[in-house]
Amino acid sequence: MSGGNTAAGQELPRHIAIIMDGNGRWAKKRGLPRSVGHKAGAETLRRIQAYCHKIGIRYLTGYAFSTENWKRSQEEVNAIMALFRHYLLEAIESLERDHVRLHFFGDMGPISPELLELVHRTDDISAHLPEDYFHANVCLNYGGRDEIVRAARKFAADCAAGRRRPEDLDEGLFANLLDTAGTPDPDLFIRPGGELRLSNFLLWQSAYAEFYFTDTLWPDFTTEEIDRAIDAYRNRERRFGGAK
């Protein structure tokens, strides 16, 4: 792996987060329906998950469908949900064999009952697998602001019920109310597709992540590209607000 360069003394990132951007543009460039781009992007996710597992990354979180993506055409949304169904059915058969724990982050309320049942099945399987397995996280109907609001509501409800006091709240307690509770914050945040923004992804958790942007569209994202991102990460000095 080209990520062997450790000039700044960094180890491999423990947790990589990726915005899987550019599926639609990839398809448009080829004169294909957007659904074909999403299918190609799903294959890229499988490939990158397998590679991250192989090289020793412990956590990989992919931004697959945001709270804003419902605004897209019904045809496109249906195609994306069909891909999720296929992905979940494959995962149910392979998680234990491949030593992978699969988790979903986001508001599951609007998800169809069929998909939700498959999500629960993967949750049940993952809960019985060893903690040291590779953690694959998928953000489905997820938005960073929405996640923070839902966490604040949980804390407010606890206060109203007398289980908590406002002065109990600190960063650690609040983090445990988020969808990602129990998952370490991302060390490396990757955005393919040429855009230079967070797009409402892991807003709380990415406070001290290292960012890597590339013009490569997600369906074209290769293992060599992730090696380059890891190289960039390993050559940075992380101070977390402290002095050198």
By annotation, the residues acting in catalysis are 21, 69
The answer to whether the beta carbons of residues 91 and 120 sit under 8 Å apart is: no
Going by C-alpha positions, the residue among 91, 58, 64, 12 that lies closest to residue 183 is: 58
Going by C-alpha positions, the residue among 177, 143, 138 that lies closest to residue 158 is: 177
* Distance in angstroms (rounded) separating the CA atoms of residues 111 and 99: 27
The answer to whether the beta carbons of residues 218 and 26 sit under 8 Å apart is: yes
* Distance in angstroms (rounded) separating the CA atoms of residues 39 and 45: 10
DSSP annotation of 69 reads G
CB contact burial 136-166 (16+ within 10 A = b; e otherwise): bbbbbbbbbebbeeebeeebeebeeeeebee
